[in-house]
Every structure is written in structure tokens, then in C-alpha cells.
Amino acid sequence: MSSEWEMRRNARDGGTQTELLERWAMMLGGGALTVYALARRRPGIALAAAGGLMAYRGATMGTKKFHARASFAINCPPETAYRMWRALENLPIFMRHLESVRDRGDGRSEWTAIGPMNRRIRWQAEITDDRENEFLAWRSTPESEFQNWGSVEFRRAPGNRGTIVTAEMEYAPPAGALGKAALAVFGKDPEFTMREDLRRFKALIEMHEIPTTEGQPHGPRSTVVSAIDALQPEKRKPSEHYAGERTAAQRRAS
Amino acid sequence: MKAVCWMGTEKMSVETVPDPKILNPRDAIVRITSTCICGSDLHLYDGYIPTMEQGDIMGHEFMGEVVEVGSGIDQEKLRVGDRVVVPFTIACGNCFFCQNQLWSCCDNTNPNAWIAEKMMGYTPSGLFGYTHMMGGYAGGQAQYARVPCADVGPLKIPAGLPDEKVVFLSDIFPTGYMGAENCNIQQGDTVAIWGCGPVAQFAIRSAFMLGAERVIAIDRVPERLQMAERGGAEIINFEEVDNVIDTLKEMTGNRGPDSCMDAVGMEASGHSFFFATDRAKQALRITLDRAEVLRQCIQACRKGGTVSVPGVYAGSIDNIPFGAAMNKGLTFKSGQTHMMRYMRPLLGRVERGEIDPSFVISHRVPIDRAPEMYRIFRDKLDRCTKVVLDPWANGARAA
């Protein structure tokens, strides 16, 4: 069991020799890909984005400060947003990296996230603060291998124009393979992930579903784009799979 | 099914692709009976708007019959067998913007909101067949289309009205109408409209409906100017006058038009120095837009007047005479069309026979001919003003 100090040091430091090499390879490769994509006369957005992400991952690997915060105004009363979030089983619907959350009912819950190559990361969490329709905070239990903290605040927007939902999270991945998996899931751009999660939460409440184009038809893609699509293992299945769950979740919450 | 796919700049191709499926509870699938090529599709054809990807299905002006609805659709609102016109903007109906009738600013329907946020600060609504930045939704130049939030957008059409009279409720008629409404027309006003394309044709007629006494239309394509004249406008062929702004001054007793409308957008033509610099920058991909018309609108508009911009722009533009705008106290209005505000009332006008929108159509062709029609429409050949595609006509190739 690593101490908290060790965990934090691990999060801060660059890692081993191999990791360092991998990191530089990604930075150079990703950078080259981005430059190539942007230099093409035709818009090569997917390619440029993939290259950029790769370079970014390379640059940030092992050195990330794992803290994220995002805020969205949602057109609903605080009660609706609170209820939707407090039913912890709903979280995987809008938090893409989560596979499931099981609420044990005693303030404790079991969380499962999906890492690269379908590797599961599991931990236990407990609610540390719960003010109805206002605030909710949780953290992984001290004996969990993967340490993380989260909170969400629900504040009535000025002029009664809905609710401002602000979510905050912090992660401290452990050393070793589990740490690497956790890093790949939570560490690549926590701020972006948090924003997109919250955006989906907003859509789920306002639109009663999450907008998607995954699974729609298209003509032949270029070979480069097809290759990038094939190389994204963490890409989730078409959302039709989740459509039923979402409707059910919405019904439960409202 | 057959679908018109963007395969690169100036490369369109009719491909056989899988039929669309329901992906979300509020989706519907529409079997398309009529679909059109829009002037704004030409910006994509010419490769001026970023975030298109090879294989994207084009098209945002279409109508047809509902063949499937998702589990989240209330049967009272939409059911299988309904004949509908589908608006080009996709709106959720429940967010702050939808509830304030700002439908094209819907907060939730763009799955790629983050890209648009990077470019514009906030994202507008998702659009059919109009770049990944605007949602990446497969478009309607196809035999079928998936319509998200189908309980908000699609407008039911009573039997008896032919497609060609109502299909333009999907974009250009409401867009022209909103362009005119954005002119803030008072009884007796003079409105100058740059461009005489299909949107402008509807804008001309809408401006009269809203109380304009005089509409001055500016273009250089003879058949389009003639069409504007038939709609009651006075015309200026900008190739034939020395200076459009001086001509407008003369025509209005040195007062200027009360409102000026830019119904051209990012691919404007002209002869000025700034036009030449725009053109060069666009060729070098330093800028996305040629803003010649917008500059003229600002310069020509009377003091305290209104500039309305239904023309499409994509990025940042240089050399805008903002000193003129500020010192003359101009008002600017713009936006993608808030479709759901206008579709029903305008259908009413069509039903009552106040307007027959089919007047803009010059070509009715099978979908297989779409690639060549893009070129003909872009180059204004063959007196082309508006192309309607039939997805099911027997063309050169089978589905």
C-alpha cells in the first residue's frame, strides 16, 4: 500500500526510462502528424486532432496535475439536477469513462471505470457531504487503491434561469500498471473530460438524451481517417446501446 | 441507399451507403421525397468551411415521409406516415435558447460542441450535412435521413400541397423571411439587398410583406436580376455601374437605404482593393471569408439604419469599416435561421396562396446528377437558380 506522499510524487514525476522514451516518441510522432494534417490543402481535422492529442498525451504523460473543474448552466430547478446526480447509478450515462456505479445505500458505493484494452479499474467511495438540492461530495475510501475526490454544487442561476452546476474532481493514481491505466483514463485531459461529462449531464436533463452521430451512415472515408478510427480502442459503442438506459434514468430522476 | 457525399473540394459523388438507423429515443427516420442544393452547400463544395471529412453526406433542405420513430416520440406529435418538411437546424426544445425562440442557438444538439466553442466561444445548434464543427450530422441529399429531436423540428404538411411548394420551408424561405425581419422594416422603408440568389428572392418578397415600399436588389447574373424584378424590386447590376454605393446614394436622394441586407456571405465578388486582398488571403488559407458585401452594406446604409446578414460567414474578417458602423449608429442583426418560429406561419401563407415558392426552381433532376449540378449551380450556368433533386427517380445508377 503506497502512502499518499508516494502517490503524489508518482503523479508529479516523469516516470521510468521507458516511459520517458514513449513520451518523446508520442510527442514527436503526434507533432509530425499534426503538421502533416494541417499542411494538407483539404481539411484534415480528424487527423490533426488525433496528432494533436497524441503529442499532447506525450507532453503531459506522467506530469499531469490531476484536478478538473467545470461549470454549466442547466435549464431546470436545482432539485432536478440534484436528484439526477444523487442517483449515482446514473453517472455512467454521462461520464463516459465509467462502466458502472453501484450505490450500496449506506453512503458507500462501488465504482468501475474502463481503462485501455478494456482493463477495469475499481474502487469504493463514500459520500462525505450531502446537502439536498445544494451540494454533494464524495471520496474513495482510504483502503481503495485508486484515490479520488469529487464534488458537485447546484446553485440557482440569477433571474431564476435554471441551475448552475459546478463539478470538481481530483485524482491520485497509484504506481504500476493500475496507475498507468488510471492515467490513460483520467489524466489525458481531465478538464476536457469533465466539461464533456457535464455537457452530457446537461443534455440528459434538458434534451432527455445525449446527442450523437455515432452509428450514422457515411460514404467512404479516407484511408488515414479509417486507420485512426480503427486505432481508438476506448471509443464507445454506438449510443443506441444506451438509449433505453437513458430514457429510464430520466424517468427515474423526474 | 443513395447519398450525395463530399469527397473533397469540388468533388461530390453519389455513393451507396447503409440506411440510417434510430440512434436516440427522439429520432425519426424520413424517406426523402424532395431534397435541394443550397447556396451555402457551395461553400462546402468550394472547400471554404473547415471540418468537412471525406465521406460526409451533404444536404440540409429536404422533406419526405416518416417511416420510423424512436421510443421517445409522442405519437400526438409525430407518427409513421406523416408527411413532413425538416428544418435544417436541429433544436432540443427545452434549453434556455429554445425556450426563448432562439432555436438555431440550441445548446444541446451539437455533439461536437467543443470544436465550435473553440472557434466561436459558444456553439450554435447542430445542422444537417454542414461540417463536423456544426455537429457532423449526415445530411438529406439521400434517400433516407435520420432526424434527431423529431418531435420539435419537422413540420407536418397537409395532403394536396405538392413538394415543390413546401420544400423550401426547410431553409431558404424562412431564411429569406428572417433576413427581412432582421431589417427592422418600418412602413415605407427602402431596403437594399445584395445578392439575388434563392434566399434573396424570398427576402425581397418578404420585405414587401413586412411593409417595405421599395426594395433594391444587387447582383450581376441576368436571370437572377430578372427574377428580382418580377418580385417587385428595382435592380442594380454591379458590373454595369461604377460604384454600387454611389448608385444607391443617388437612388435614395443621398439618404441611403433604411436597411441593407448581405444575402451573399463569405464568397462575395467585387472589384475593390479589399476584395483583392480577401481573395489572395483566401487562396493562401489565411482567411476563410471574402467580406466585400458586408463592407458595402455598412458603407451604404443610412445613419441609424440596420444591417441584416443572412449570408454565411465562417471565421474572422479584416478591414471592416467599423468606424462607419459606430459613427452612423448602425444596428446589426444576423444568425442562422430560427426555423421553428417561421415554418408554420409561412406554411399558412403558402396554403392561402399568398406566395408560391416554387418560382425559384430552375432544375429538377435525379439525385444521380447531383455532382454535375453542384458545378452548374456554382458557375451559374444553364440559367441555374435552384436545383431540386429527386432521390428515387431512375437515374444512371441503381440504389
Residue A218 contacts B, CB cutoff 8 Å: yes
> Using CB atoms within 10 A of its CB, is residue B380 exposed (0-12), middle (13-18) or buried (19+)?
middle
**Mean pLDDT of the B30-54 span:** 95
pLDDT score recorded for residue A169:
92
Question: At how many degrees (to 10) do helices B339-351 and B172-181 cross?
Answer: 110
Q: Which of A245, A228, A235, A219 is nearest to A94 (CA)?
A: A245
The nearest CA of chain A is from the CA of B172 a distance in Å of 25
- CB within 8 Å of B11: residues ≥ 6 apart: none
**Mean pLDDT of the B364-382 span:** 97
A110-124, A196-210, B202-216, B218-232: segment of lowest average pLDDT: A110-124
pLDDT score recorded for residue A185:
74
Residues in chain A closer than 8 A to B72 (CB atoms)? 208-209, 247
Say if residue B175's pLDDT is above 90: yes
SS (H, E, C) A69-124: EEEEEECCCHHHHHHHHHCHHHHHHHCCCEEEEEECCCCEEEEEEECHHHCEEEEE
Banded pLDDT at A238 (limits 50, 70, 90):
very low
**Residue B80 · residue B69 · CB < 8 Å:** yes
- Could you state, in order of their start, the residue ranges of all structural domains in chain A? 1-63, 65-210+247-253
Say if residue A35's pLDDT is above 70: no
Say if residue A15's pLDDT is above 80: no
pLDDT score recorded for residue A190:
84
**Mean pLDDT of the B54-72 span:** 97
Residues in chain B closer than 8 A to A210 (CB atoms)? 24
More confident position, B228 or A4: B228
Banded pLDDT at A22 (limits 50, 70, 90):
low
Backbone angles phi, psi at B275, to 5 degrees: -60, -45
Say if residue A63's pLDDT is above 90: no
**Residue B183 · residue B211 · CB < 8 Å:** no
The C-alpha atoms of residue B237 and residue B337 are separated, in whole angstroms, by 28
Banded pLDDT at A187 (limits 50, 70, 90):
low
Choosing among B19, B58, B107, B288, which should be mutated to test the A contact, i.e. which has the most A CBs within 10 A?
A: B107
CA trace torsion B391, B393, B398, B399 (10° rounding) = 30
- CA-to-CA dists, residue A36 to A41, A45, A46, A230, B394, angstroms: 10, 11, 12, 20, 42
More confident position, A178 or B341: B341
pLDDT score recorded for residue A236:
43
B125: which 3 cell numbers? 445548434
Residue owning grid cell 431512375? B394
Q: Which residues pair with B191 in a beta bridge?
A: B215, B259
Residue A195 contacts B, CB cutoff 8 Å: yes
> Using CB atoms within 10 A of its CB, is residue B72 exposed (0-12), middle (13-18) or buried (19+)?
buried
Question: Do the chains contact at B53 and A221, CB–CB below 8 Å?
Answer: yes
- CB within 8 Å of B9: residues ≥ 6 apart: A41, A42, B45, B46, B47
Q: What is the pLDDT of residues B119-129, one digit of tens each?
A: 899 999 999 99
Question: Do the chains contact at B72 and A219, CB–CB below 8 Å?
Answer: no
pLDDT score recorded for residue A52:
54
> Using CB atoms within 10 A of its CB, is residue A13 exposed (0-12), middle (13-18) or buried (19+)?
exposed
pLDDT score recorded for residue B344:
98
User: Which among B70, B92, B138 has CB closest to A216?
Assistant: B138
Banded pLDDT at A3 (limits 50, 70, 90):
very low
**Mean pLDDT of the B213-226 span:** 97
pLDDT score recorded for residue A176:
78
The nearest CA of chain B is from the CA of A50 a distance in Å of 13
Banded pLDDT at A16 (limits 50, 70, 90):
very low
The nearest CA of chain A is from the CA of B13 a distance in Å of 9
Q: What is the Cα B212 distance to its own chain's centre?
A: 22
Say if residue A243's pLDDT is above 50: no
pLDDT score recorded for residue A246:
54
- CA-to-CA dists, residue B80 to B30, B68, B142, B157, B162, angstroms: 9, 6, 19, 14, 19
Question: Do the chains contact at B71 and A210, CB–CB below 8 Å?
Answer: no
Architecture of the domain defined by A65-210+247-253: 2-Layer Sandwich (3.30)
Residue A45 contacts B, CB cutoff 8 Å: yes
pLDDT score recorded for residue B141:
98
Say if residue A41's pLDDT is above 50: no
Return residues 83-142 of A near B (CB < 8 Å).
Answer: none
Identify the structural domains of chain B with CATH numbers, from first to last: 2-171+337-390 (3.90.180.10), 175-334 (3.40.50.720)
Banded pLDDT at A95 (limits 50, 70, 90):
very high
Amino acid letter, A70:
A
Question: Do the chains contact at B25 and A219, CB–CB below 8 Å?
Answer: no
The C-alpha atoms of residue B187 and residue B202 are separated, in whole angstroms, by 19
Count Cβ atoms below 10 Å from residue B135 Cβ, excluding itself: 28
Say if residue A37's pLDDT is above 70: no
Q: What secondary structure letter does DSSP report for B313?
A: -
- % of chain A surpassing 90 pLDDT: 44
Q: What is the pLDDT of residues A126-151, one digit of tens each?
A: 999 999 999 999 999 999 888 899 99
Banded pLDDT at A9 (limits 50, 70, 90):
very low
Q: What is the pLDDT of residues A190-228, one digit of tens each?
A: 889 899 999 999 999 999 999 999 999 999 998 887 777
The nearest CA of chain B is from the CA of A74 a distance in Å of 8
- This prediction's pTM: 0.85
Q: Which of A123, A153, A150, A154 is nearest to A139 (CA)?
A: A150
**Mean pLDDT of the B251-262 span:** 98
User: Which among A162, A202, A221 has CB closest to B55?
Assistant: A221
pLDDT score recorded for residue B396:
46
Highest mean pLDDT among A14-28, A52-66, A89-103, B276-290: A89-103
Residues in chain B closer than 8 A to A213 (CB atoms)? 23, 111, 135-138
